[in-house]
Amino acid sequence: MLDTLRRIVLDFSQDTELQSALERMVRQVKAAMQADCCSIYLADYYQQHFVLMASDGLKITSLGQTCIAFSEGLIGLVGKREEPLNIVNAQEHQEFIHAPEVQEEDLFAFLGTPIIHRRKVLGVISVQQKEQRNFTENDEAFLVTLSAQLASALANAEIRNLLTFQQEQAQSVKQLQGVAGSPGIALSSIVVCQPQADLAAVSLKSAPNTGEQLLRFEQAVKQTKADFEELSQRLSGTINDESLAIFDVYKQLLDHANLGNEVSEKIAQGWRADSALKLVIEHYIQQFEAIDDSYLKERASDIKDLGTRLLVNIQQQAKEELILPKEFILLAQDVTASMVAQYQQAGLKGIISLSGSNNSHAAILARSLGLPAIMGVNASVLNQLHQKEVIIDGYSGELFVNPDDSLKKEYQYLLSQEEALSDKVMEVVDLPCETSDGHTIELLLNAGLSASFEQSSHIGAAGIGLYRTEVPFMNRHCFPSEQEQTLLYRKVLKFFPKHSVTMRTLDVGGDKSLPYFPITEDNPFLGWRGIRITLDHPEIFLVQIRAMLKANQGLNNLEIMLPMIASIEEVDESIRLINQAFYELKAELKANLFNELKQEFTRNLMDEMAIEGSSLDNQLLDGVLIDSVTKARLEEKADIVASQLHRPKVGIMLEVPSVIFQMKALAERVDFFSVGSNDLTQYLLAVDRNNSQVANLYDAFHPAVLAALYSIATQSAQYNIPISLCGELASQPAGAILLLAMGFNKLSMNGHNVPRIKWIIRHISYTQAEDILQHVLTLSTTKQVHSYLNEQLEAVGLGGFIRAGC
């Protein structure tokens, strides 16, 4: 029976036409269950009824014509109850509705089960028999199992046939769901971008002339480097941040010391240039896709993009330019960073990628450019959606195809509001971040991943609340040296000489890992990550701390933050290592300075003696002439200079729920707390926010999360410890209001959100925020929280921020 199930579902998923797939399925199920009839009804939420789409046993002329309201009949009852219904004599059931057009008068036994995908009833599958009887438990189990496996395939099939599904309803609005990759709204027509070359289509062939093949590859590499240089230059006039580093990574991979060398070796073994490229690229893709880490998994897309562009140049294909309208939304199976760079000055208003996540470089670039983006729309709709009018909502990840006039009017209004608000919020950039009744709070910048801290002085950020130091570790083939880290950290610290810069120590593991330091775990978010890794490898931790301390010398605006703290022992050990690095470095600095001063003193003394015509032997050059008084004076000078090495404040990230119950002991050991709301929410709700199956359950406005945050803020005030929050909640208008009222001293967020949140804070009183918070804390469901907060934003005149907020 299991083989039968697999065959039925596989046949269905492989069919390109929904109707033929449904018709084949009812025949297969009828035969497998030895029933007299099998039928499939699909839900039409636009009309609020089920439509008979396929049947083997009911009259064929009723297909596509018979409709049963969601609240009527046995089919409606199955959908409403969301569970199987097994009836001996369906025609005697109180919910039975006689539909003469289907001709089911001689069918009595009925078994129906709902087809549910992510809590949404997609349809109902039923079997019927002429004999009056209960279907067996095995029959019921078979149909329930089939419907569960069918649900995902049917969801995709429904999307594939988006424009032809049921009675030519292509003109009605269809809604798809993806992952919010970059905030914003766009209304325009779609331009589908197909790959110019396909590595999968390349057949593996050998070539007798390896020299010729190597030349072809080298010329392709040269041209591809030039292509990437052009794209990088094109973008650099618009943005100037770390998200452009992807093009440097591409060019580095092309060097002979990296990917280029591997392809050349394959060519030397006798493969054709395109075949050699295929072998190497697909090997890299397989390696990256096998990694659990969501950030590194997205690098498979970058490698594929690089390979495709190389293949185009190897095959010397003419680069077809898309015929572009004045404004458009780009859709591709896998939108890449180079695609965004290529089209961003040609009228690009937004992007839709059928694969990828908000960690992809395309999404990172989109955020830097202010382009709305939806990633991971699970459908194969490329050709069908070309030139179709759509609305993309980068806040919610929703995609609306063929929007009607009312929906367009609604989003045009929201878009006009958004544009007006964007201009308005810039008016407060240089003003203090304080409420209308004088309560102040600091807005800081999250930097290091994709945000440009160089531009933060123009958006009103008062320093960096979270600098992610792991990025320079990620974009390399080995651990960076102490000197390399020192130079990078000093550059960051210099941008905010009068404000604090909080640097988080290396935080890898979970959804971030290093290609040269792989971590393979069944459950990485509950595994070896954050401070656990660096404490297990103090040689890595100490080098990073030393680099931070050196970079801070003379600036003294560094604060060090420890990630993923779960116990007091981790804090004690971390502080011990920080103190060790500090005192060792101070001693080294003092010794080096003393030697420099001693050498300078000796040189000056030699110069004086030379002028007097005296001479010194080699032993005198070692400082024999320096008496104890002079030595003490030099040591004093060295002490003064060495005292510029500042021991920075040390804080911890509150991300693991266990710390909520250890606040007093933690407050005795550290200088500040910073809540990582993304991970705290994830751990409190037991939801992997990168898992599309449960991502809808991840919500920082969950009452339990808000209660935890309130407890943290209350305890921090009790123990007189400054408290900040870095995470998505801080950048949401309603979230910022709640955090303000809870007593958070600082909020840290991405750069483009700073002016917007400052505007929110300046247009509400602290008393109003407290009243809102006190009511929110009495609510018991996430839905209630969102509804109430939206009402309150409207009530205080901040309704225009709802789309960009909670």
The pLDDT tens digits for 673-725 are 999 998 899 889 988 766 656 767 888 999 999 999 999 999 999 999 999 99
Handedness of CA 130, 131, 137, 138 (dihedral sign): negative
pLDDT-derived band at 298, boundaries 50, 70, 90: low
What is the dotted CATH code of the domain comprising 2-166? 3.30.450.40
Q: Which of 360-364, 606-610, 772-776 has the highest mean pLDDT?
A: 772-776
d(CA 340, CA 231): 9
Per-residue confidence (pLDDT) for residue 728, from 0 to 100: 82
Is 361 a catalytic site residue?
yes
Average pLDDT of the segment spanning 321-341: 79
Q: Which residues are bridge partners to 747 per DSSP?
A: 443, 725
Compute the distance between CA of residue 446 and CA of residue 743 in angstroms, rounded to an integer.
Answer: 20
Distance (Å) of CA 499 to CA 458, 503, 548, 551: 15, 13, 16, 15
> HSE on the CB side for 686, CA within 13 Å?
0
Is residue 280 over pLDDT 90? no
Using alpha carbons only, how large is the chain's radius of gyration in Å? 32
pLDDT at 170: 42
324 — phi, psi (to 5°)? -105, 135
Half-sphere exposure of 667 (CA within 13 A, CB side): 17
Most confident of the following: 202-216, 479-493, 661-675, 676-690: 661-675
pLDDT digits (tens, 9 = 90+) for 147-157: 988 887 777 66
Q: Is the pLDDT of residue 313 over 80?
A: no
How high does pLDDT run on average in the chain? 80
pLDDT value at residue 627: 60
Across 237-246, 416-425, 731-740, the highest mean pLDDT is recorded for 731-740
User: How much is the pLDDT for 444?
Assistant: 92
Band of residue 163 on the pLDDT scale cut at 50, 70, 90: very low
Position 672 scores a pLDDT of: 97
What value does the mean pLDDT take over residues 184-212? Answer: 78
CATH for 199-314, among 3.40.50.2000, 1.10.274.10, 3.20.19.10, 3.60.15.10? Answer: 1.10.274.10
Tokens 């110069």 belong to 607
Helix (H, G, I), strand (E, B) or coil at 561: strand
Residue 624 pLDDT > 50: no
Q: Which of 117, 361, 702, 752 is catalytic?
A: 361
Give me the helix-helix angle, 703-718 and 677-685, nearest 10°.
Answer: 130
Cα–Cα distance measured from residue 296 to residue 288, given in angstroms and rounded to the nearest whole number:
6
The rounded distance, in Å, linking the Cα atoms of 622 and 598 is 9
Residue ranges of alpha helices (H) inside 204-336 are 210-236, 245-254, 259-268, 273-289, 294-297, 299-314
Whether 109 has a pLDDT exceeding 80, the answer reads yes
Task: Say yes or no to pLDDT of 455 above 60.
Answer: no
pLDDT at 242: 52
- The rounded distance, in Å, linking the Cα atoms of 735 and 701 is 8
Q: Count of CB atoms within 10 A of residue 369's CB? A: 20
Q: What pLDDT sits at residue 382?
A: 57
Euclidean distance between CA atoms 653 and 667, whole angstroms: 12
Where are the chain's structural domains?
2-166, 174-193+322-403, 199-314, 587-642
Report CA torsion sign: 284, 285, 290, 293.
positive
Task: Please write the tens of the pLDDT for every residue from 737-746.
Answer: 999 999 999 9
Q: With a cut of 80, say whether residue 4 has pLDDT above it.
A: no
Kindly tell me if the per-residue pLDDT of 293 is higher than 70.
no
> For the residues 768-792, what does the mean pLDDT come to?
95
Q: Which residue has the tokens 């009452």?
A: 703
The residues near 65 (Cβ < 8 Å, ≥ 6 apart) are 52, 101
d(CA 426, CA 628): 63
pLDDT the model gives residue 292: 55
Instruction: Please name which of 144, 342, 139 lies closest in space to residue 238, comparing C-alpha atoms.
Output: 342
Grade residue 544 by pLDDT with cuts at 50, 70 and 90.
very high
Please say if 726 is a catalytic residue: yes
174-193+322-403 CATH: 3.50.30.10
Q: Measuring CA to CA, which residue among 237, 259, 233, 261 is closest to residue 247?
A: 233
Q: Please state which of the ranges 519-533, 585-599, 702-716, 721-735 shows the lowest mean pLDDT.
A: 519-533
CA distance 754 to 452: 13
pLDDT at site 266: 83
Residues 6+ apart with CB under 8 A from 643: none
Q: Which residues of 420-439 are buried (b: 16+ CB within 10 A; e: fewer)?
A: ebeeebbebeeeebebeeeb
The answer to whether 527 and 564 have CB atoms below 8 angstroms apart is no
Catalytic residue among 117, 726, 752, 806: 726
344-348, 570-574, 774-778: range with lowest mean pLDDT: 344-348
Top-confidence residue, 462 or 288: 462
C-alpha–C-alpha distance, residues 724 and 711, integer Å: 14
CA dist list (Å): 569 to 133, 532, 622: 66, 11, 47
63 phi and psi, to 5 degrees? -65, 130
Instruction: Compute the average pLDDT of residues 306-310.
Output: 76
Instruction: Answer yes or no: are the C-beta atoms of 500 and 557 closer than 8 Å.
Output: yes
Minimum mean pLDDT range among 8-12, 438-442, 660-664: 8-12
Q: Which of 315-324, 333-342, 703-712 has the highest mean pLDDT?
A: 703-712
Q: What is the pLDDT of residue 565?
A: 93
* CB half-sphere exposure, 312, CA atoms < 13 A: 17
